[in-house]
Amino acid sequence: MLKRPTLPRSLHPSGTGLPANDGWLGIRRGNIRGQARSCTKVLAGSLLVAVCATFASTTFAQDDLGGFDLPGAATVCFGMLGITEERALAICDALALRENVKARELAQRWIAQQPDSAAAQFALAEVLVRVEGNLARALFHLGRAEELTNYSSLGRAIAMGGAEWHYLTLSQLSYVHQLMGNQQASLDYLDKIESVYGQDLESFRGWPLIKMQKWDEARASANKVLATSNDVRERSRAWNTLCAVELASLRPAESLEACDNSISEDATASLGDNGDLDTVYLLNASEVALSMLRMEEAEDYLTRASRYIDPDSVGDPWIYLLYLYMNQGRFEEARSALDNMLVWRDSQEPIVGVMNRAEHFLVSAMFLILAGYPEDAATLSATALNQPDRTGSYSADEAQKDSIAALINHIANQTAYEMKLEEAAWLDFPASLDARIKALPLRFKAWRSGRHAASLFADTQVLQNRLRPYAPLDVHIPEWIEPELVTILGEGVISSILEHTRDGGAFSLNEGYYYAYHAEIAAQKRQDARTIENAGRAMSMLPPQEVLLKARLSARVADAAWRMGEVEIALNNYEQAMAWDPSIFRRLGLSLPVRITGVDEPFVHQVIDYVGSSPRFRNHADGLTLEVFPQNDLTICLSTRGGAPLSCVQMGAFDETLALTPAQQLVKEFHFQTFGPGFDISLTQRMALMGSSVILSSQNNTGVQRNRDAVLQRP
C-alpha cells in the first residue's frame, strides 16, 4: 500500500519539519532542528512557521503584533517561532531532551492551574500525540483549545494575543482528524487555516482526497501545485499524490514516473535543508515498481530507503525487504531483515508506532509461520486484528488490514494444528492424546478466522483488487499466501471473480498469476490433470523471484501426480518444493512418500515408528529415501532417490529438561529442521516481536541510537 509522505513540522504531528509538533502539515520529522536560522528559512520547510511570514508581510508595525518578537535565531517551540510562554518553553525543552514523563507532568500541572488556557490545552494534546500516540484524548484537548480561541480573522487573532495557539490548534486538528480517518474534517480545518491566515495549503489536500478516493480532485489539486509552486517540498508532495492517483487509474508507468519525480524533488529539498530524503517516497516507488513486476528495481528502492533510520516515517523499509526476501526464498537475508526491522521499529516515534504496528505484527507473523512458530504467529496476527490502527497515513483502510490479519491468523492456526498432529506422532499415549486434544481448538480457531476473513473479502470489488498481483493501494499480501483465498472463499467464487479480474487487465503483465489461481482451484477440486496443466503454465510464466509461490505449485503438482501414478513427475516436484519452501507441506497438510530404512536395532525401530506415524510422511517403496542411523549417531537423513540429501539432521546435546527420550527428541528436531528454514528464534526475540509500550520505546530511543550502526547492515 502507498503511504502519505512525512510532512513538515508545523501543521500536525508527524510530518517533515520542525522538532516539536509533528504532523502531516508537519511537525515531527523536520529538516530544521533545534534553532531556526531565520523566519524565511523556516518557512521553506514548515507550514507552521508560515505564520511568522504572514505576520512579517503585513502592514502592521512591530508594536502592533501583540508582543510577537521575531528574532533571526529564535527558539523553536512546538514548531513555532515567537512563543514566549515560559511553561510552553519548559515543556518543549523536556520534549527535546526526551524527558517525556516530565513533559507530561508539566502539561498536566499547567492545565490543572489554568484550564481555560488554550496554550495549556494544546501543550497537553501535543504531549499526548507525540509521546503516547493517544489521539482520541489529544482530540478532546484540541477541541477545548479551539473553543478557547476560535478566531475568525488574523486581525482578531493578533488582537487577542493567541494567534500562535490558534494556528497550532487548527493545524493539529487537521492532522489528527486525517490520521483517525475523518478526511473531510481534515480538509475543513485546512480551509479554516487558509481563511484566517491566508496560507496556501493546496499541497496538503492531495492525501485526504486520495483517502476519500476522489481521484479527479486529487489529480487536479496536485497539478495546481505543480503549476503554481516553486517550493520543492510542495512539489514533492504533489508528485506523490499523482503517484497514487495514476496507480488507481491503472497507469503504473505514469505512476512510477510521478514517484520518481517526488523522490527527485525531495532530494533537492533535502540538500537545501541539510536533511535526509523522505523514506516514504522511496517506499511508494518500490510499491509501484512491484506492481509492474520490476522486482530488482523495487529492491533497489527499498535498499536505498533502509540505509538511514527515519524515526518519523510511517514506512519501515525492512518490513518490505522482509516480504521480498520471503517471496524469493532468501531465508538467511529474511532473518537479518527481521533483526533490522526491530531496530528500526524501536527507534520510531510513538505516534508512528501507533500507525504501523499492524504492519510489523503481520510480517513478523508470516515469517514465524515459515520458521516453524505458528502459535506465536497466531498471537501476533490476532493482536493486529484486535487492535485498531490509525490508517490515515496509508492508502489502505482498516477493513483491509483486518481481512489480511484474519487470513494470516487462519493460516497460523491451521499450521499450528498440523504441528500438534506431528507432535502426537512421537509422544507416548497419554501425552499423544493430550496433544490431539489441544489440536482441536487450533483447528476451530483456524475455521473461525477463515470465516471472518471470508466475510471481509466478500465484496466483489475488494476481491478483484486483491487478485491483482502486488496491488499497491491495498494492504500487502504476499503472492504465495493469496491462493489461500480459494480455501476460505471457495472454488466457485474465485473462479467467477478471476475471469472478471483478467478481463479488467489485472494479469496483463504476467498471466502466470492467473494460472496459479486456477491450479489451486483444480487442486482443491481434486482435478489432478488440470492441476498439473495449470501449474505447469504458471511456473513457466511467473517471474523467477516468485520462489515460494512456485513451491506451492510444485507441491500441488507432486500431490496430483502421485495420485495419478506419475511417480517420476511427483518425486521431482516433491524435491523441488522441498528445496524452495520446506514449510509448504505443513501449511497444506500434505505428506511426503518415503521409503524408510535403518539398521536392525531397537532405537532405530522406535524412530522409524515415530516417523511413520507422522502426518508429514507415508511409507511407500517408490518414495524418497529416509534413512535412520544408529543411536550413537542420532541422525536422520531425507534424500532423493538418487541419494542427494534434502534434509540431514543430527541431534545436538540431549536436553534433559524435556520429558522426551533421545528418539523422541531426534524426531522432533528432524521435523523442525526439515519443514522449515531451521532458524532457532529465541523466546526473548519472539516476545520482542510483540512490541513494547510506545512510551518506553520513546524513552529508550537514546540507548537504541548508540546501537543502531552496530546492528544495521547498511548496503
Last residue of a domain, one of 159, 177, 199: 199
424 and 571: one domain? Answer: yes
Query: According to the per-residue pLDDT averaged within each range, which of 97-111, 172-186, 212-226 is highest?
Result: 97-111
- Of 366-380, 506-520, 561-575, 653-667, the one with minimum mean pLDDT is 653-667
Band of the pLDDT at 73, cuts 50, 70, 90? very low
Is the predicted pLDDT of residue 476 greater than 80, yes or no?
Answer: no
Question: Would residue 354 count as lying in a domain?
Answer: no
424-428-434-435 Cα dihedral, nearest 10 degrees? -20
Is the predicted pLDDT of residue 560 greater than 60, yes or no?
Answer: yes
Average pLDDT over residues 32-48: 26
Cα separation, 644 vs 577, in Å, equals: 15
pLDDT recorded at residue 471: 77
- CATH code, domain carrying 91: 1.25.40.10
pLDDT recorded at residue 206: 86
Give residues with Cβ within 8 angstroms of 58, minimum separation 6: 154
Last residue of a domain, one of 161, 179, 199: 199
Last residue of a domain, one of 515, 550, 579: 579
626 and 572: one domain? Answer: no
Query: According to the per-residue pLDDT averaged within each range, which of 285-289, 310-314, 395-399, 440-444 is highest?
Result: 440-444
Average pLDDT over residues 258-280: 64
574 and 619: one domain? Answer: no
pLDDT recorded at residue 24: 29
Per the structure, the complete domain to which residue 532 belongs is given by 373-579
Question: Would residue 438 count as lying in a domain?
Answer: yes
Average pLDDT over residues 417-445: 95
Cα separation, 8 vs 2, in Å, equals: 19
Pairwise pLDDT comparison (463 vs 576), residue with the higher score: 576
pLDDT tens digits along 177-198? 988 888 899 999 999 999 998 8
Band of the pLDDT at 274, cuts 50, 70, 90? very low
Give residues with Cβ within 8 angstroms of 532, minimum separation 6: 557, 560, 561, 564, 569
Pairwise pLDDT comparison (614 vs 2), residue with the higher score: 614
**Polymer length in residues for the chain:** 715
Q: What is the pTM of this model?
A: 0.80
What is the β-pairing status of strands 635-639 and 624-628? antiparallel
Pairwise pLDDT comparison (57 vs 289), residue with the higher score: 289
540 and 659: one domain? Answer: no
* Contacts for 436-443: CB closer than 8 Å, 24+ residues apart: 442/375, 442/378, 442/413, 442/414, 442/416, 442/417, 443/413, 443/414, 443/417
pLDDT tens digits along 217-234? 988 998 999 898 888 888
61 and 166: one domain? Answer: yes
Percent of the chain surpassing pLDDT 70: 81
- Of 12-21, 46-55, 184-193, 661-670, the one with minimum mean pLDDT is 12-21
Is the predicted pLDDT of residue 444 greater than 60, yes or no?
Answer: yes
629 and 550: one domain? Answer: no
Cα separation, 238 vs 261, in Å, equals: 10
113 and 38: one domain? Answer: yes
Question: Would residue 387 count as lying in a domain?
Answer: yes
pLDDT recorded at residue 381: 92
Tell me the three state secondary structure of residue 646: strand
636 and 544: one domain? Answer: no
Identify which of 152, 150, 154 has the alpha carbon closest to the alpha carbon of residue 58: 154
Determine if residue 581 is left, alpha or beta; phi over 0 gives left, psi from -120 to 50 gives alpha, anything else beta: beta
Question: Would residue 122 count as lying in a domain?
Answer: yes
Question: Would residue 293 count as lying in a domain?
Answer: no
Q: Do residues 535 and 549 lie in contact, with contact meaning Cβ atoms separated by under 8 Å?
A: no
Average pLDDT over residues 303-320: 88
Average pLDDT over residues 150-169: 86
46 and 174: one domain? Answer: yes
Is the predicted pLDDT of residue 616 greater than 90, yes or no?
Answer: yes
Is the predicted pLDDT of residue 465 greater than 80, yes or no?
Answer: no
Chain-centre distance for alpha carbon 14: 17
Work out the mean pLDDT of the chain and round it to a whole number. Answer: 81
Looking at the 3D structure of the chain, how many domains does it have? 3
Question: Would residue 263 count as lying in a domain?
Answer: no
466 and 597: one domain? Answer: no
493 and 392: one domain? Answer: yes
Question: Would residue 218 count as lying in a domain?
Answer: no
Question: Would residue 646 count as lying in a domain?
Answer: yes
Average pLDDT over residues 54-62: 34
Is the predicted pLDDT of residue 337 greater than 80, yes or no?
Answer: yes
pLDDT recorded at residue 170: 93
pLDDT recorded at residue 46: 32
483 and 608: one domain? Answer: no
Amino acid sitting at position 263: I
